Amino acid sequence: MKIYTKTGDRGDTGLFGGGRVPKDHPRVAAYGDVDELNSFLALARATEPRPRIDDILLPIQRDLLAIGALLATPNPEKMREHLAKARVDDKRVRELEQAIDDGDMEITPLKAFIVPGGTRKAAVLHVCRTVCRRAERAVVTLQETESIPALAIVYLNRLSDLLFTLARVANAQSGSTEETW
């Protein structure tokens, strides 16, 4: 099977379960931003390996594949069988919250805004955080006109908080001083 299909050469793309939309459609923007976030998380995992942080990121990458599949599916009922493994639930959100709480135990409480940076790992995690916020905004925009799983927004919101915390943890673990604004 070839990787290229040529079906998108006119500026449209197929959705999971059928139908085509322009490549700049809000649905495509939303799942595209989630995909971009997933790629940046891969970069974060490959940068200055830190087992505790990296072990948190891999399941998140799987979650983002599930969220992307759900966002790419305008009719989830039609594709229910194919979406069986595309599940992100309240339990996963609680696990993100627990990871935030655990991370908070390793860092000093915030007293000022943090300038993104520090170690390379922390800097990449800050990029991930900002891409996550963009993905969240794209999903909110999509929600205005299309039906999407409500948990997608909650998950992305909590994930951006976790990524901020993990960036701070990466700096703390390396002894890097955080710059404040």
Q: 63 burial class (0-12, 13-18, 19+ CB within 10 angstroms)?
A: buried
The CATH code of the domain that includes 30 is 1.20.1200.10
Q: In the chain, how many domains are there?
A: 1
Q: How far apart are the C-alpha atoms of 65 and 73, rounded to whole Å? A: 13
* Domain presence at residue 179: no
Mean pLDDT of the region 22-36: 93
Give the structural domain span for 120: 20-174
Nearest to 82 by CA among 4, 18, 12, 172: 18
Q: Is the pLDDT of residue 87 over 80?
A: no
* Domain presence at residue 5: no
Q: What is the structure's pLDDT at 84?
A: 66
Residues 96-146 have pLDDT tens digits of 999 999 999 999 999 999 999 999 999 999 999 999 999 999 999 999 999
* Domain presence at residue 4: no
Question: DSSP label at 104?
Answer: H
Share of the chain above pLDDT 70, in %: 93
Residues 42-78 have pLDDT tens digits of 999 999 999 999 999 999 999 999 999 889 887 666 5
* Domain presence at residue 181: no
* Domain presence at residue 133: yes
* Domain presence at residue 13: no
* Domain presence at residue 1: no
pTM of the model: 0.91
* Domain presence at residue 12: no
Which helix (H) or strand (E) segment is 13 a member of?
A: strand 12-14
